[in-house]
Structure 1
Amino acid sequence: MLETLAATVALFSCKSLGLARPSPRFFRELGTLKRHYLHKLFEPRSVAVIGASDRLDGVGGRVLHNIIEGGFEGELYPVNPNREAVQGRAAWPRVSAISRPVDLAILAIPAASVAAALRDCAESGVGAAIVMSAGFGEIGSAGAGLQAELVDIARTHDLPLLGPNSLGVLRPAWHFNASFAKSRSRPGKVALLAQSVGFCNALLDWADSNDFGFSAVASPGAASDVDFGDLLDFLSVDASTHSVLVYVERITDARAFLSGLRMTARVKPVIVLKSGRNEAGDGALGDRVFDAAIERAGAVRVNTVHQLFTAARTLLAGTRITGQRLAVVSNAGGPGRMAADRARRRGVSLASPNAGTYAALRALMPTHWQPDNPLDILGDAGPERYAAACKALLEDSEVDGLLVLLTPQGMTDPEACAAAVIEAAKGARKPVVACWMGQDLVARSRELLAAARLPHFTSPERGVDAFAYIAAYRRNQAVLLQVPPPASEEQPPDIEGARLMIENALGERREALTTTEAKAVLRAFRVPVSPAINASSPADALVAAETLGLPVAMKVNSPDIPRKAAVGGVRLRVRDAHEVRTAYRDIIAQVKAARPDARINGISVEPLLEADDPREVAVVLARDPAFGPYIGIGAARDGLSPMAGLQVALPPLNGFLARELVRRALEGAPPETFSEADAESLVAMLMRVSELACELPELVELTMNPVRLGGDGAVALDARIAVHTREASTRRYGHMAIHPYPSAMAEHWQLADGSDLLVRPIRPEDAEMERAFVEGLSPESRYYRFMYRVDKLSPMMLARFTQIDYDRELALVAIATPDGLAPRIIGVARYVANPDGESCEFALTIADDLQHQGMGRRLMQQLMNAARDRGLEVMEGEVLTANRRMLRLCEGLGFRLVYNREEPDVVAVRRHL
């Protein structure tokens, strides 16, 4: 009771409207550190092991043994109906027979018995469950049915379920090992999520042998209920976790996975290792889509276990960079060249230090010394030379990071050189990565580097990899901050017109649009396309050719033929009237001979766009089975879709993201091939294609091949669109892995005093305004809001306020722009969806100097409308009884007030939307 009252009073005051004591999930989203809804899974006070036995070679016996041996301090209940005692502890026949609360139940029994045991747990009020049993979805329809039954039980009773086929959960600092792993894990700052039981066991064994500790370990197994997104969600607010390693084999819910990944990557490094390629994708292309998803989430992907831990150690050091120009220092030429070769393969730029840097070092070097990068400071280099080289390069504006190599030569003092590098790195604003090569002669040096928390490795290649991960993390963090709108506000597309054309094709049971229809859809979205006139006879073709102007190109118009040239369906450079009519007859004859089953709607006559130096690419919008729509750029090749070497990105795109995609696609071409104007015109086209991806869920593939770049900008010369009836969904943008910024919610208001306001969803660039808003509240209001004294918002809290996932939450900000002053936030209304996907909790905060103008009511009304449109059914929370004004506002908005005798100071409020 006292704890509840303290939390309530700490959040709210009469000066700061807000809901009292929302759910743990809501506190988490607002940056406060209340218990997460999975806390009983990771930090239980009592555990029941169903299937416990004395056999350590069985899962139930091993997990019970591990919990006991780990030193778990809570209550432990072995459950075995056939035994009175297990491993020296009294046994219980079932969970419902235990007379005390159980936070976590672990099920290690045959698959056929799990559902009944789980139902007993749910009806007994168990807080969370882990199913370690195998034999569910992977054994066919019967197993899949058993798994579906488990999910139904768990979700009906709001019981978080991890598994089936889960290794379990470890919290070393809590002395809690609820797994059947044989390896012990020591405490650390890195969390591990591994889908594979075998892989998780191997990683734990490796970590145990290499003095690598974990803050948490969890194995989602089949991820039937609690999946990667939920686990990442917990780790994002876990104070003991500083970075996260993720090993994934398959993605069951791309939206939830990316949502949790983005949430965590906003506040701590996340490194992802995926086995094989995207199972449901198109081989290497599916793998590139996965890469694009990880990049968009702000995480870093690696390809091997060694890279996984290299990245973890490097990013855990907390080093940040502003660029990716690397300088290499070495006392031997060979290792320096090895590092340079690796840098080129990893796409890391070698820095070009200023002449002044080399001049400062020349006085320390022999007369024959040659400055270069890698910087060879020669085999007799001592600590003074290492210190001078490091200092000079770290102060050079052309250098973003430093890799220092040492080989233990006869005149080398490895420990003194390590101490010199450590001293030079102190206070440096650039990363320093060390590589002391060898074994016994450099062992003490590595201890010094480790004690100084300087990332150090045993080979030049791993040192370069470490810097590459820092650069990738920095680059992907910039990508993470992008929140593109779904459609252009300056030249809005004709979405309804495009949809009608697609619906017409689907109504005719067609899954492909004609060329004319495809180009019409593109024009509706302002995508530049070459004009085309469909001709149904040789005479019509001649009229079309004269209308467009000879010479022309002629192509068969058929929804059944994607590769027109392959069946003789294309004629280029048709130059006169006689040739037009002949080409028409020849195309029809050849196509009918090659594809007698194809529907032919005529011949598309198009202007022949010739250029002295044609620059052509292909642009693709396609659908990945796991991550939904993706956009790609590749070489223009006849009939290939998707194209080999395609560079891909996930929509929605904005200018920043589109330019990154264009840069990657064109970086292999000679500099003179594509101009800056070419790139910008391609960026503009990609932005429009992104709008197509967002607004037309029925569109499953678009191929513009070729797209010509030239004086008129990017123009699609040919287009093919495939469509399919979309799956029923109550969510707008439900077909996308990343929810676009909901710009349509923006509104202009005017308060009673005539003040003009802009109300819109919050964006990452609002961080400074949000900081000023919260810190502008009275000290009392800030204390009530955050439950402790707050003078400044931490970067983590600012990120949580402003970098939100619009699929799971919404924050509406009211922005005023007083005459002659900078814009400022004066009110925020926010909801966060609960794990059940049907309800949400909300909060409302108004600036101290703008009360009593009706803004709170209007913000709440708009927030409720948005929650209803999102498909949420209930909005709820609790209000302090003394906060009469908030209670009146809730009553006026239709909330039902429920008083509780056990907590007279708190009123529950609830409204069906």
Structure 2
Amino acid sequence: MGRHYLEHLFNPRSIAVFGASELPESVGGRVYHNLIASGFKGPVYPVNPKYQQIGDKPCYHSIHEIGETVDLAVVATPAATVPGLINACGEHHVQAAIILSAGFGEQAGAGKALERSLLDEARRANIRILGPNCLGLMRPAIGLNATFSNNVAQSGSLALISQSGALCTAILDWASGHQVGFSAMVSVGDTADVGFGDILDYLSMDPQTRSILMYVEGVRDARNFMSGLRAAARLKPVIVIKAGRHAEGSRAAMSHTGSLVGSDDVFDAALERAGVVRANTIEQLFAAAQLLSTPQRVSGNRLAIITNAGGPGVMATDRAVEQGIRLAELSESTIGRLNQALPKSWSHNNPVDILGDATPERYRAATEICLADEQVDGVLVMLTPQAMTEPTDAAHAVIKAANPQRKPILSCWLGEKQVRKGREAFARKRIPTFINPESALEAFGYLSEFRRNQELLMQAPGPLAELDAPDVEGAQLIIEGALAEDRTLLSSLETKALLRAFNVPMLPAMTARTPNEALAAAEYLGFPVAMKILSPDITHKSDVGGVWLNINRAQAVRHIFAEMLDHVREAKPDARVEGVSIEKMYRRPHGREVLVGVIDDPAFGPVITFGAGGTAVEILKDRAVALPPLNDHIARSMIRQTHVSRMLQRFRNLPPANLDAVTHVLLRVSEMVCELPQIKEMDINPLMVDEDGAWALDARIVVHYKPPGQRPYDHMAIHPYPSHLVSSFQLFDGTDITIRPIRPEDAEMEKDFVRNLSPEARYFRFMESLQELSQEMLIRFTQLDYSRELAFIATIKRDSSEVELGVARYFSNPDGESGEIALVVLDEWQNKGIGTRLMSCVIDAAREKGFNSLHGEVLANNVKMLYLMTKLGFTHRSKPDEPGVVLVTKHL
């Protein structure tokens, strides 16, 4: 692919400042001064009709007077003037603009209209806009400080993206005092055009950036946000601070799930699926960045603590328990080795108390022994300065123990003056060091959280699990029927039919509208039965006397029917009552109540929750939240996060519950929200679980209208694996070929495929002499965001494994209406029709995506590829600035 579409924003060669001024207190004056003072190497042109000259440079009345190419416009003029300036920039072929001015989308009425006008001009001119209402952008390595901040960032490897300009200045001030440097600082402002996703996409491939820090207040485009976040997190650590816990709104009164899940829960779930870590304070933000920027990673959360004082060891243990970090159980061989290296009175347990007179040699021995234990995932080494302590020498001893190890070491030298040099020694060797055990334990928790979330990032579930096929068409017809009658709450019968269409297990039930019908239904189902009121206006039936359980006698049915209706009419006189539901009573002795629910989050779309069920769910608030699609790994991870998961294990006289059955229901609900975008809310409460299975005893579904023109899965923040695009065909010699979208687990196969290409084929594909894919390229090629890129691989079965024969892919261009293509087939499998099939799949998928055209670059001497492109209907033309390259285009 060519230069990134934000290259002119992050690496401009020339800049024009609109509203530049000699007044240092003005925004235009400050940003112009910062650009000059920061040492930007390219020309900086001040534009302001009020001045003839600013400093020792001429000032231009308009951009047209400059007469030279301008890559980036920085605008600090009144909001009303900005659309006209962007129009002029378009005529001058400017590619990017930073709008510092306020008065746009953050203001209702005229401000929003002005923002629309600004975006119309920008799109017409093909200019990407950062802001408006932002602090600006810094790139310290190239001397770019296009902000009006008084702070100056040092050059480094951290990138900061913030929705708050004020927080940017606070973080920059904090970082300056702690010698922390940045590869980029981006204030996004109102994100009218360039958003988090675009910036993350750029920084993910930026060689100067090793870690990314983010401050987020809200998300405009969840799909774009998740797309960029997942792309970046696959290649480098991303740490996020999220501000604002929004009110749960009126939905709390409408459903159990709505009352449980707030927008902050949903944001957490989004971060987990994106493979990133969340911090709560600026200190935590940088602590996580410090730790995650080191090469060490953990395979679990079992921690060994080494200390020369019992009190700090206890403090660290308490914090570890609170953080959910496990204290490692030291093996017998480790205990034996520690017995030989330490005094007899050491603690003989974890924490490893090596006593107050611990020498540097004792520190080194204890660290080496604990790191070598297979049951230890990381080590926290602590020191308190005592009379016999040598803090600096002890630090160097720990550093020597750490050198050959891959497991992380965290240091905590408590105190100030006596331990300062020891901390500095750790910092020089990039061993994370902390001033108190609580911060150290939080940091280790980030490592563990990063590992867990990276596992979730690797999951690429399809919309349908590998279960019996659901009746999607029948479910759609039921929903459409309800909406056609202008109803959004499905009736009890419709709800049960929807669950049945997706094979969610339920107990038998019948609807009754009269006492006699209730009696007949109870006799047919067999006693005992449960009776529940049916009303579209009553959500919590138990609260109004609308539930009666364990009805054992026929004589009681009609009486209970009448009494229930009396209670309901007294409690809810205006409620519409449609009858009662007579249900076979669940009478198994080992049942536990859980809840499975769905809400439609305004930012991230459908969200699935699991937790404790029953009538007290709002009080218990025991839940786990995840974005669909789910697979077995994600579903079981959700279950493990809840307190009720312990109740599902063997407990006293209760046998372990059937977790496979719970997982089955979660996967079925995931299928429902993937395939039925009309679902707005769902409660399955209670879902009764025992050793034999799980049954939905009660459920409620609210639907809404699907926006017109929406393509499949557009309602979801994470695009599912496009399993409907899997196909197969047979070569003339009888060889069976499978063509399918690539998955993350295909990384090794993709690496072998590129390695097995001939040098000529590799050169034709990558236009450079490449031996094999780097780790970054491998991640980029196999861990796809299916909403904006797609790769089809052709494979055959060989023995028990799959072998890749060819791959074709498209990358979505920033306009969202076109894509860039690539194709390569193993040399020995060329001229068999595989390339044609792969490219046909790419063309069909791009057309389904709504693309207008596909484009590619082919070396002029790649005759076979040019012939194939012609056969597939692509037009050819030479690339203007590279005569050895042919541009191929197909209009769809």
| TM-score for the superposition, normalised by structure 2 | 0.96
- Which residue of 496, 502, 527 maps to 1:525? 502
**In structure 1, what residue type is equivalent to 2:322?**
R
Establish whether residue 794 from structure 1 lines up as the match of residue 774 from structure 2. yes
- Distance in 2, matches of 1:424 and 1:226, equals 47
1:642 to partner: Cα distance: 10
Within 5 Å, which residues of 2 pair with 1:312-351? Answer: 312-351=289-328
Establish whether residue 894 from structure 1 lines up as the match of residue 873 from structure 2. yes
Contact 1:525 1:692 in 2 (8 A): yes
**Cα gap change, 1:84 to 1:140, in 2 (>3 Å):** same
Q: Which residue of 2 aligns with 1:14?
A: none
Contact 1:563 1:639 in 2 (8 A): no
- Distance in 1, matches of 2:246 and 2:592, equals 32
Please list every run of 5 or more consecutive structure 2 residues that lacks an aligned counterpart in the other structure: 250-258
Contact 2:90 2:127 in 1 (8 A): yes
Q: Which residue of 2 aligns with 1:439?
A: 416
1:885 to partner: Cα distance: 2.9
Q: Which residue of 1 aligns with 2:704?
A: 724
**Cα gap change, 1:756 to 1:719, in 2 (>3 Å):** same
- Which residue of 726, 734, 745 maps to 1:765? 745
Q: Which residue of 1 aligns with 2:256?
A: none
Q: Which residue of 1 aligns with 2:856?
A: 877
Q: Which residue of 1 aligns with 2:146?
A: 178
- Distance in 2, matches of 1:861 and 1:781, equals 20
CA offsets 1:857-897 (integer angstroms, 9 cap, x no match): 12111111111111212112233333333233222222233
Q: Which residue of 2 aligns with 1:750?
A: 730
Establish whether residue 145 from structure 1 lines up as the match of residue 124 from structure 2. no
Please list every run of 5 or more consecutive structure 1 residues that lacks an aligned counterpart in the other structure: 1-22, 25-34
Contact 1:647 1:665 in 2 (8 A): yes
1:388 to partner: Cα distance: 0.9
Contact 1:493 1:526 in 2 (8 A): yes
- Distance in 2, matches of 1:580 and 1:112, equals 73
> Which piece of structure 1 moves more, 534-543 or 669-678?
669-678
- Which residue of 625, 628, 635 maps to 1:648? 625
Q: Which residue of 2 aligns with 1:242?
A: 210
Within 5 Å, which residues of 2 pair with 1:465-864? Answer: 465-638=442-615, 644-666=621-643, 669=646, 671-673=649-651, 676-818=656-798, 820=799, 822-864=801-843
- Distance in 2, matches of 1:265 and 1:185, equals 24
**Cα gap change, 1:667 to 1:402, in 2 (>3 Å):** farther
**In structure 2, what residue type is equivalent to 1:717?**
L
- Distance in 2, matches of 1:396 and 1:534, equals 63
- Which residue of 161, 182, 193 maps to 2:161? 193
Establish whether residue 421 from structure 1 lines up as the match of residue 398 from structure 2. yes
- Distance in 2, matches of 1:279 and 1:172, equals 39
Establish whether residue 910 from structure 1 lines up as the match of residue 879 from structure 2. no
**In structure 2, what residue type is equivalent to 1:394?**
L
1:600 to partner: Cα distance: 2.3
1:684 to partner: Cα distance: 1.0
- Distance in 2, matches of 1:807 and 1:643, equals 37
- Distance in 1, matches of 2:366 and 2:673, equals 51
**In structure 2, what residue type is equivalent to 1:510?**
R
- Distance in 1, matches of 2:476 and 2:177, equals 59
RMSD (CA atoms): 1.8
Q: Which residue of 1 aligns with 2:254?
A: none
CA offsets 1:724-779 (integer angstroms, 9 cap, x no match): 11222432111111011110110011123321111110001111110110110012
**Cα gap change, 1:642 to 1:621, in 2 (>3 Å):** farther
- Distance in 1, matches of 2:722 and 2:198, equals 24
**Cα gap change, 1:283 to 1:238, in 2 (>3 Å):** farther
**Cα gap change, 1:287 to 1:900, in 2 (>3 Å):** closer
- Which residue of 285, 288, 302 maps to 1:311? 288
Contact 1:111 1:134 in 2 (8 A): yes
**In structure 1, what residue type is equivalent to 2:45?**
Y
- Distance in 1, matches of 2:880 and 2:758, equals 33
1:676 to partner: Cα distance: 4.8
Establish whether residue 72 from structure 1 lines up as the match of residue 50 from structure 2. no
**Cα gap change, 1:279 to 1:101, in 2 (>3 Å):** farther
- Distance in 2, matches of 1:248 and 1:221, equals 11
Contact 2:650 2:657 in 1 (8 A): no
- Distance in 1, matches of 2:39 and 2:114, equals 34
Contact 2:381 2:412 in 1 (8 A): yes
Where 1:588 maps in the other structure, the secondary structure is helix
Q: Which residue of 2 aligns with 1:252?
A: 220
1:904 to partner: Cα distance: 4.2
- Distance in 2, matches of 1:549 and 1:283, equals 36
Contact 2:248 2:263 in 1 (8 A): yes
Contact 2:48 2:62 in 1 (8 A): yes
Where 2:595 maps in the other structure, the secondary structure is strand
**In structure 2, what residue type is equivalent to 1:767?**
A
1:133 to partner: Cα distance: 0.5
Contact 1:699 1:721 in 2 (8 A): yes
Where 1:573 maps in the other structure, the secondary structure is strand
Establish whether residue 262 from structure 1 lines up as the match of residue 240 from structure 2. no
CA offsets 1:346-405 (integer angstroms, 9 cap, x no match): 111111111221221223433333312111111100111101110110011111000000
Where 1:337 maps in the other structure, the secondary structure is helix
> Which piece of structure 1 moves more, 190-199 or 332-341?
332-341
**In structure 1, what residue type is equivalent to 2:605?**
G
Q: Which residue of 2 aligns with 1:27?
A: none
Establish whether residue 377 from structure 1 lines up as the match of residue 354 from structure 2. yes
1:560 to partner: Cα distance: 2.1
Establish whether residue 866 from structure 1 lines up as the match of residue 834 from structure 2. no
**In structure 2, what residue type is equivalent to 1:315?**
L
- Distance in 2, matches of 1:614 and 1:905, equals 72
Within 5 Å, which residues of 2 pair with 1:217-296? Answer: 217-278=185-246, 285-296=262-273
Where 1:823 maps in the other structure, the secondary structure is strand
- Distance in 1, matches of 2:350 and 2:467, equals 48
- Distance in 2, matches of 1:591 and 1:349, equals 51
1:81 to partner: Cα distance: 1.1
> Which piece of structure 1 moves more, 384-393 or 725-734?
725-734
Q: Which residue of 1 aligns with 2:53?
A: 85
**Cα gap change, 1:740 to 1:553, in 2 (>3 Å):** same
**In structure 2, what residue type is equivalent to 1:697?**
P
- Which residue of 92, 103, 111 maps to 1:124? 92
**In structure 2, what residue type is equivalent to 1:663?**
R
CA offsets 1:173-228 (integer angstroms, 9 cap, x no match): 11111111111111111110011010001111111111100011111110110000
- Distance in 1, matches of 2:838 and 2:829, equals 13
Contact 1:131 1:161 in 2 (8 A): yes
| TM-score for the superposition, normalised by structure 1 | 0.94
- Distance in 2, matches of 1:283 and 1:499, equals 28
1:130 to partner: Cα distance: 0.4
1:147 to partner: Cα distance: 1.1
Contact 2:674 2:716 in 1 (8 A): yes
Q: Which has the higher contact order (CA 8 A, sep 6+)?
A: 1
1:788 to partner: Cα distance: 3.8
Report the count of equivalent residues. Answer: 880
- Distance in 2, matches of 1:379 and 1:750, equals 74
**Cα gap change, 1:640 to 1:517, in 2 (>3 Å):** farther
1:702 to partner: Cα distance: 0.7
1:295 to partner: Cα distance: 0.6
Contact 1:567 1:591 in 2 (8 A): yes
- Distance in 1, matches of 2:560 and 2:42, equals 84
